[in-house]
Structure 1
Amino acid sequence: MSKTVIYTQRVEFGDCDPAGIVWFPNFFRWIDAASRHFFIECGVPPWHQTAKDLGVIGTPLVDTHAKFMKTASYGDTLQIHTSVAEWRGKSFVQRYRVTRGDDAIMECDEVRIFAGRREDGSIFAWPVPEGIREACS
C-alpha cells in the first residue's frame, strides 16, 4: 500500500462559475498539483533532476475517471488525499479523494506513466523506477 499525502487547496472567487460553484476543470488542475506534491513529499527529486539522473521527465496522464459527490464554493478549504492505488510495469494508478472536512467532494483515479523523451522528441513510458516505487510505498 502507498503512502497518503494531503495537499490543501483554498477555493478562490475566480475558481467558481457564476453560480458560485467550483468550475470542474479546476479540480483537475488541483489534483495535478497534488500529484507532484505527493512525489515531493515522498522524497522524489524535481522532474528536472530525475530527467538528468533517470531520464524521467515527468508523469503524464493517460487516463482519468472522476466522480463528483458534492459542490465546493468560494472560501472552502479542500484537502486532496493522494496515494498510489496500484503500481504496474510502466504505469501506476494515482488515487485522489477530495474532502471539505468530513464531506467527500470528489474522487478520481488517474493512470499515469513515468515518461522519457527520445532523441526525436517523442515521449515513451519508462518501467516504474524501483527507487521511486520504494519511496512512495
Structure 2
Amino acid sequence: MAHRFTCTERVQFSDTDMAGIVHFSNFFRYMERVEHAFFRSLGFSIVDPPVEGAERVGWPRVHAACDYMAPLRFEEEFECELLVEEVRHKVIRHLIRFWKSDGELAAEGRITAACVRKDPTTGKFKAIEIPQRFRDKIEAASHELLRRPERH
C-alpha cells in the first residue's frame, strides 16, 4: 500500500517574484500537483470518473498550510515528497516536503482533503466514508518518516 510519493519539479520564471524566488502562493500549486500525481500513480484521478458499480467521489481541500525554510529560485530543480500523514474515515491528510537539490528542506506543507459525494437531488456535497477502493491502496506513513528531518 502507498504511503509515500516523490516527483521532481523545476521552478518556472512565472513562479517567481521580484526577488527571483518562488512566490509563497505557488507552493500551494506544487502541493496540488504532487497530490494529483500521487493519485495517478495509484490508478485514480482527483476527479473521480464514473465507474460501473462504484460511487463517484470528490476530494475538496478543507485545510491547507505551508511553512517556508529556504528559497527556491528560477530554473532550480527540487523534489516534492508526499507522505500520507493520516487516513481517517472521511478525510486524508498529506504532508508535503520540498527538497532542494543539496538536500536542504525548502518548505513543508499540509493538505487535508475530505471525501465527498454530490447529492443528485440537492446538488450539495456531503462528506462520506472513503470508499474501500481507495483504502485498499493508501495507508499512513510511519511516524519515523513523518518526523521532520534535519537533512534529506
Higher share in helix: 1
Say whether residues 1:118 and 2:119 are aligned partners: yes
Match for residue 66 of structure 1? Answer: 66
- Structure 1 segment 87-106 matched on structure 2, within 5 A: 87-101=87-101, 102-106=103-107
The sequence identity of aligned pairs, in percent, is 25
Kindly name which structure, 1 or 2, has the bigger radius of gyration based on alpha carbons.
Answer: 2
Q: In structure 2, what is the equivalent of residue 128 of structure 1? A: 130
Larger strand fraction of residues? 1
Amino acid at match of 1:116: R
TM-score after normalising by structure 2: 0.81
> How much has 1:48 moved relative to structure 2?
4.0
Alignment CA distance shift 1:20-1:46 (3 Å)? closer
Greater mean deviation of Cα atoms: 82-91 or 43-52: 43-52
CA offset at residue 60 of structure 1?
A: 1.1
TM-score if structure 1 supplies the norm length? 0.89
Equivalences, count: 136
Question: What is the rounded CA distance, in whole Å, between the counterparts of 1:104 and 1:11 in structure 2?
Answer: 15
Number of the residue aligned with 2:7:
7
Structure 1: gaps spanning 5 or more residues: none
Q: Which amino acid aligns with 1:71?
A: P
SS in 2 for 1:81: strand
- Which residue is 2:49 aligned to? 49
Counterpart-to-counterpart distance in 1, 2:41 and 2:114: 19
